[in-house]
């Protein structure tokens, strides 16, 4: 009979939960930074969905990029408020792009 060691069971959950978050963040950033793809509203929609979970988990880059996307691309006041809040959170964490975006919208 084989028994699992405590170290192997502890190491696996950390890597399995971190990998999808990093992967979705990388894909979303790639989609938004690609000039040809980022022109499409459907691509922005997909990127927004990919950024949502990491932003909720406190990933500053995801908060910053999702906040920028929501402030620039969403027409509803509710989405723009959420975008501003995400930018504020990222700016408090020290993200310079979020700070610059907040300064643009306040002027």
Mean pLDDT over 74-99 rounds to 92
How far is residue 59's CA from residue 35's CA, in Å, rounded to a whole number?
A: 24
Q: Is the pTM of this model over 0.85?
A: no
User: Assign residue 9 a region: left if phi > 0, alpha if psi is -120 to 50, beta otherwise?
Assistant: alpha
pLDDT in tens, 8-27: 444 445 555 566 668 889 99
């Amino acid at each position: 009979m084989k028994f699992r060691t405590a170290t192997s069971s502890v190491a696996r959950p950390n890597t399995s939960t971190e990998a999808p978050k990093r992967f979705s963040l990388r894909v979303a950033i790639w989609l938004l930074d690609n000039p040809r793809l980022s022109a499409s509203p459907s691509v922005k929609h997909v990127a927004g969905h990919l950024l949502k979970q990491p932003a909720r988990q406190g990933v500053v880059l995801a908060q910053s990029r999702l906040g920028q996307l929501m402030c620039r691309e969403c027409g509803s006041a509710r989405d723009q408020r959420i975008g501003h809040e995400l930018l504020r959170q990222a700016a408090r964490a020290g993200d310079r792009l979020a700070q610059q975006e907040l300064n643009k919208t306040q002027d």
